[in-house]
Amino acid sequence: MDPLFDFTGKVVLVTGGSRGLGYEMVKAFAARGADVVIASRKLEACEAVADEVRALGRRALAVGMHAGRWAECDRLIDEAYAAFGRVDVLVNNAGMGPRMPSHEVSEALFDSVVSLNFKGPFRLASQIAHRMAQGEGGSIINISSSGALRPLPQVVPYGSSKAALNAMSRSLAHEYGPKVRVNTVSPGPFRTDIAKAWPDEGLGPLAIPRGRAADPQDIVTTALFLASPASVNVTGALVRCDGGQH
């Protein structure tokens, strides 16, 4: 195994880890030696992924929790440290962005989107960064969106909360460096199970330099880089993994 991408002995925590991009990241880290904490709302789905990780010979912890609620974020942290004694890599991946006209967004929906995309990730990142800084350090990766960088009508709370996530990463990188690196991945369109609801399931051409929606594996490699010693000089960065979307 390439020593730059060998995560043997490392503990990686992924929110939204039971499906989609989170699931692909869990598998990628486990295949490279990491023990993994899989967190999402549905415990049964997390347990199924944990079984896959254990089949690879790695340890796994499944935690059912809502990543937008601070009390549940704190419980996740406590369970992860109780099981493994450390977290070396945190991936804030859980998020949501329902599409509807802005004037129809209810206060409850607005709060749900902002809580899951920004409030919860702030709690997890700040608390785990503090622990990392007191220990051997670590890497925090926040999964944002190209929707935070360009105008997207009808998903304004989503884009705005992801823009807040981008700003948060830079600030936390300065606050908890040099032992803790905090970076943001900004994907463009990519195909997971949600692509089944798209008119062409994401297979058609797009007007971007890449020419098509990405597969999850195209995004995962960016997370592996930011979690590894290969990116030791990268912190406070926003890495666009969007096929050249502008």
Domains in the chain: boundaries:
3-192+209-241
Q: What is the 3-state secondary structure (H, E, C) of 81-141?
A: HHHHCCCCEEEECCCCCCCCCHHHCCHHHHHHHHHHHHHHHHHHHHHHHHHHHHCCCEEEE
Residue 126: other Cβ atoms inside 10 A:
16
> What is the distance between the alpha carbons of residues 120 and 5, in angstroms, rounded to a whole number?
28
Band of residue 219 on the pLDDT scale cut at 50, 70, 90: confident
Alpha helices in 140-239 (DSSP H): 156-176, 216-227
Of 23, 81, 158, 176, the active-site residue reads: 158
Give the mean pLDDT of the chain. Answer: 91
Residue 139's closest CA among 172, 103, 188, 95?
A: 172
Q: Which residue has the tokens 């992801």?
A: 162
Supply the pTM of this predicted model. Answer: 0.92
158 is annotated as an active-site residue: yes
Tens digits of residue pLDDT in 90-135 = 999 999 888 999 999 999 999 999 999 999 999 999 999 999 999 9
Rounded Cα distance between 82 and 211, Å, is: 46
The DSSP element (H or E) to which 213 belongs, if any, is none
Cα–Cα distance measured from residue 103 to residue 64, given in angstroms and rounded to the nearest whole number: 33
CATH topology of domain 3-192+209-241: Rossmann fold (3.40.50)
pLDDT digits 0-9 by tens, 57-101: 999 999 999 999 999 999 999 999 999 999 999 999 999 888 999
At 146, the pLDDT band (50, 70, 90 cuts) reads confident
